[in-house]
A and B are shown apart, each in its own frame.
Chain A
Amino acid sequence: MYQAKVTNIKITGRGGMGILTAAGILAETAFLAGYDVKRSELHGMSQRGGSVSSDIRFGKKVFSPMIPDGETDYLLLMADDQADVFGHDLRMGAEIISSVIFGPSGFPHKKSLNIAMLGALSAKLDFHHKIWLDVLEKIFGKEVVDINISAFNLGHKIMNQAIAEKHQ
């Protein structure tokens, strides 16, 4: 049976961390890269600090907007205390990307952590860098676009270093 492989990415954290913004950027990038994309999110009481999570799925053809149990390929953890919550959603060998990659004190600019994490994820996906940057420029206003692009690039670089170290 032929089933085109769908890539499943879950972004989780708490209200105010920019999860939906990050999910939007990822979905738009996948769309511009030519994939079918579906994205869904739950954020019932997010403004009150509750959990927020978003599923982004892309591939040749995506049906359900929700990632089926045990099929998450990448989990982006904006808040580390969410790791246990989504543990059962992971596929064998799934990758968890958490803010720990930025060192023990986390990413210096809290407000652009979401974009730095996307930068880190981008090192694992095969979208052109240019598409990511185009989307970032489209989403962010003049005042904050540069900060976000450098956060993205830093995340990308740090993940690439981590990958290189692993292969040494």
Chain B
Amino acid sequence: MKHVGLNVAADLLFTAAYSGVSGGLVFVVADDPGMASSQNEQDTRRYAVAAAVPMLEPSDSQEAYDFTVLAFNISERWGIPVILRLSTRISHSCTIVEHGNMPIAAPDPGFKRAPEKMVMIPAHARPAHKRLRIKLEEIRKWNEAEGPNLTIAGKGKPALISSGVSFAHCREAAPEAPVLKLGMTNPLPIGIIAAFARKHGDCLVIEENDPYLVTEIRGEGVNVRGKEKKFRIGELNVSRVKKIISGDKSPDPEPAKGMPPSLCQGCPHRTVFAILKEMNCLVSGDIGCYTLAVLPPLNAMDTMIDMGAGITVGLGMRHALPENEARRVVSVIGDSTFIHSGITGIVEMVYNPPATGHTVVILDNGTTAMTGLQEHPATGRKLDHRKTNRVIIEDICRGAGVKNVQVFNLPGKADKFRGELKKALDSNALSVLIARQVCLLAALRIRKLEKAQE
């Protein structure tokens, strides 16, 4: 999952660390330093510490392969969830991989009743927390003795401590420097780090994102240096690592700008945003292709925070703003995002209706376009495109208690949509208007699929 995906899964992670697991459970989480396609650059390593679970950081494709196997081995041996922390460059790069024998067969499924381990009431959770800390200490000792850490001899100062893709940049930026590469970064092999620091004296930690390693290592009383503050922001590369090492304070070159993306010609989202703009709406938006409506020429989105916030932030604005402004607020959300995290917003709207009512527009393009045209429960097809039950978005909204739920097949019903949107905004009612037209890219694919099935 993405780093922000772990925010959604975090509730489970924290308590699954207590309950423990009987098979292997590995969270593969990719951070996005530099935000190639994300809304923030949060650092997953903080989650590993906060939830007290082991974490591995591969530095290329080979290690992504090897560490996945290792993560499952650790998870099964200690009965603990493990985080495999990737970053944009690890996920979006290919390096040569030698396959090993696939050593892991899934254990036979079965459920052993053990409510004292699996039902986390406080009386069970207190001893579970103690067990978790004992496991972590055992794993730390294992990491010191036989963990996936690597010391590379070299000469000159400073000596470098690194992990993940930053390690590859280090080797290129300073091929002669001694390097300690950490493969497991929680719990840290602090004994190895302390010995390395004692041997080399001046040690510099090279890491992407937050100053996580440097803070933790210094917290253990080992004297190491970290990067300048500005390198916390954005991706590292060989040039930036050279600057960190030499203390060069000159500004980085402007990153390549390139062509900004835009909604496709003929994209159904365009029709809807043109109308919202024409009607001078305050648009509480959400995440998907349609977020591109914020850019010129449409300039038709006012807020976008996270998946699901389109509805709930819109509701907040309706509650808080003076009436004449509140009336202009429209929540806009895509079909996939609605299924993922919009439903609770609809429930909230019905339960705590704003005085001026509210209008939610669902952009149903029959796919998850932005992330690569994946299916979702409202398309009626599984991820591998096989047919399955279809969840009906309008039924969910009506079932939750929204009275005015209407579906408009675009582009034919665009005028009807405009008229009903105006009516909804003028009334104090709760409305869900579903603008339906299959994404052009998905339509091509669906036609191919249907042909293949014939």
Contact = CB atoms under 8 A, between A and B. Distances in A.
Do A and B form a real pair? yes
B89 A65 contact: yes
B172 A38 contact: no
A109 interface: no
A68 B171 CA distance: 13
A8 to B, nearest CB: 11
B92 A42 contact: yes
Interface of A: 1, 3, 14-15, 24, 27, 31, 36-51, 53, 62-66, 68-70, 79, 81-82, 85-86, 88-89
Given A40-B89, A45-B292, A64-B238, 10 more contacts: A1-B175, A1-B176, A38-B93, A38-B94, A43-B92, A48-B261, A48-B264, A49-B262, A49-B264, A63-B168
B372 interface: yes
Contacts, number: 103
B93 A42 contact: no
Given A49-B261, A85-B256, A85-B258, A44 B237 contact: no
Interface residues of B, number: 36
B261 A46 contact: yes
Interface string B211-250: 0000000000000000000000000011100000000000
A46 to B, nearest CB: 7
Given A14-B259, A68-B239, A37 B441 contact: no
A110 to B, nearest CB: 16
A46 B60 CA distance: 24
Give 8 closest A-B pairs by Cβ, nearest first.
A51-B258, A50-B261, A44-B37, A45-B261, A48-B261, A40-B93, A68-B238, A65-B93
Given A3-B175, A88-B253, A66 B258 contact: no
B172 A47 contact: no
B288 to A, nearest CB: 11
Contacts of A69: 237-239, 253
Contacts of B264: 48-49
Contact of A38 (B95, B176, B257, B369): B95
Contacts of A51: 256, 258-259
Given A40-B93, A49-B264, A65-B165, A81 B259 contact: yes
Contacts of A68: 172, 237-239
Contacts of B261: 15, 44-50
Interface of B: 36-37, 60, 88-89, 92-96, 165, 168-169, 171-172, 175-176, 237-239, 253, 256-264, 289, 292, 369-370, 372, 441
- Summarize B's interface: helix, strand, loop or mixed: loop
Nearest to A28: B94
A50 B237 contact: no
B262 A48 contact: yes
Contacts of A47: 261, 369, 372, 441
B89 A50 contact: no
Contacts of A89: 256
A14 B262 CA distance: 12
With most chain A CB atoms within 10 A of its CB, the pick from B88, B239, B261 is B261
Contacts of B441: 47
A69 B256 CA distance: 11
A31 B61 CA distance: 14
A65 B260 contact: no
A50 B36 CA distance: 12
B92 A37 contact: no
B89 A31 contact: no
A48 B372 CA distance: 11
A63 B241 CA distance: 13
A40 B88 CA distance: 10
Contacts of A66: 89, 169, 237-238
19 contacts: A1-B176, A15-B261, A36-B96, A38-B94, A40-B94, A45-B292, A45-B370, A48-B292, A51-B258, A53-B256, A64-B169, A65-B60, A65-B165, A68-B238, A69-B238, A82-B258, A82-B259, A88-B253, A89-B256
